[in-house]
Amino acid sequence: MALLKIDNLKANINGNEILHGLNLTVNPGEVHAIMGPNGSGKSTLASVLAGKEEFEVTDGYVEFSGKNLLEMSPEDRAREGLFLAFQYPVEIPGVSNANFIKTSVNEIRKYRGLESLDAMDFLQLMRERSKLVEIEQSFLTRSVNEGFSGGEKKRNEIFQMAMLEPKLAIMDETDSGLDIDALKVVSKGVNKLRNSENGFVVITHYQRLLNYIVPDYVHILFEGKIVKTGGKELALELEEKGYDWVKDHINEL
């Protein structure tokens, strides 16, 4: 069974249609990269999948692990195993990272009929996973993302991903604005989390990330539709020829 099956998805914001009938299937163990120019609908796709209210789905169907994703609340999507790494992670003053992640882990466990992790087990899990993205313990007692640098925020997203072990992770321009060291740390974290059962949708503007997180498929999103799909070499071709090439390519069709 596919992890994610998007069929003819159309979505609006403030009455403007951004996604014009998008199709995508992600199977367990696969990494899909979605590339596209600014304004092509990349972040809209991520927001719609995560359940952000401002976006109105007008047509199409999304199945996640056999269930109707679009009918679920954002929290239930997360509890079912969907994870969105934000392009702009939100700062939440007064809530410590540790308290936030503990609440999150236990809410998800509760949904799945599991007992809450006790303080000791939780601490141990946090220690272990925080190593994956090379974050210090002091990071955990700080307020969520408050005063974090861009790199720290993105590492925090991957740390949360590591704690929650989603079936499907959508990474929304996680690489944008990262320096090469931070990019390596983030990619290393993702690669360690990859296995034959989970899937990744990596949304990016730049090919560079795909040197570190090697995708099985590359899709080009343009004007709210996937216009071309290929292997990892498609990203290189796109990098070389630029997004204008996509435009021309569309016109040829």
CB atoms within 10 A of CB 242: 10
State the residue for tokens 């955990």: 140
Lay out the site mask for another protein across 99-118 (x = CB under 8 A, - = otherwise): -xx-xx--xx--x-------
Determine, following the binding rule CB under 8 A, whether residue 83 of this chain makes contact with another protein: yes
Q: What is the DSSP letter of 5?
A: E
Q: Which of 1, 14, 16, 53 binds another protein (CB under 8 A)?
A: 53
Distance of closest approach, residue 104 Cβ to another protein, in angstroms: 4
Distance of closest approach, residue 94 Cβ to another protein, in angstroms: 3
Q: Which of 10, 77, 129, 225 binds another protein (CB under 8 A)?
A: 77
DSSP string over 104-144: HHHHHHHHTTPPPPPHHHHHHHHHHHHHHTT--THHHHSEE
CB-based contact 30:236 (threshold 8 Å): no
* Alpha-carbon distances, residue 87 vs 126, 198, 202, 249 (angstroms): 23, 21, 11, 28
Q: Which of 92, 121, 131, 214 binds another protein (CB under 8 A)?
A: 92
Using the minimum distance from each CB to another protein, give the nearer residue, 74 or 242.
Answer: 74
Residue ranges in contact with another protein by CB under 8 A: 50-53, 73-75, 77-79, 83-84, 86, 89-90, 92-95, 100-101, 103-104, 107-108, 111, 143, 160, 164
